[in-house]
Each structure stands twice: as structure tokens, then as C-alpha cells.
Amino acid sequence: MSNSGTGQASSETTARLGIADWLCLAAAPTFAVMALLTGIHTSDGVTSCLGADASPLTGMPVMYLLMSAFHLAPWLRVISGRSVR
């Protein structure tokens, strides 16, 4: 992926890497929004199926929040000033 042996990456390869690097930043906010929307729109029917003694840590909102937390690493790199990739 270098131009005529000079060691420089082509602009197309650089553009693809740039898009991929920034695309990884989309996961955390997407999962956070999904957790919010799922938490707001969860009906009482779902919670009644779980029973009265069900843990509050069960369900899709918690899973989406965990996924959002697991995908925070790229954001932490950007905030700290390091490169995304």
C-alpha cells in the first residue's frame, strides 16, 4: 500500500483508515442512545413477565449501557490527545 516503494501510503488507503478510525467513535454514543430509548419505552408488560423479585440489572437497557461502557476506549484516547488508532 505504498507508492512506488517510497514508504508513503496512498491517499485512498489513508482515507479508508481515517474513516475506520472515526467510525469506531460511533459505537459508544449509539449504545447510550439505545439504552435511553429502551429504558423509556420499556412497557410494564416486560417487567411483569420478569416477576417481582427480578434483578434490576436484567434487561436490554443495562446491556446497552454495558456495551456503551465497553466501547468508550476510542473516546478516552481522543480526550487524552492520543491518536484514535
**pLDDT the model gives residue 40:** 84
Nearest in space to 29 (alpha carbons), one of 81, 78, 85, 69: 69
Instruction: Return the pLDDT at 29.
Output: 92
| pLDDT score for 31 | 92
- How confident is the chain (85 residues) per 10-residue block, as mean pLDDT? 52 66 87 89 61 67 90 88 66
Reported pTM: 0.61
Contact call for residues 77 and 84 (beta carbons, < 8 A)? yes
Q: What is the pLDDT of residue 74?
A: 87
pLDDT of residue 2: 44
Place of cell 427480578: 54
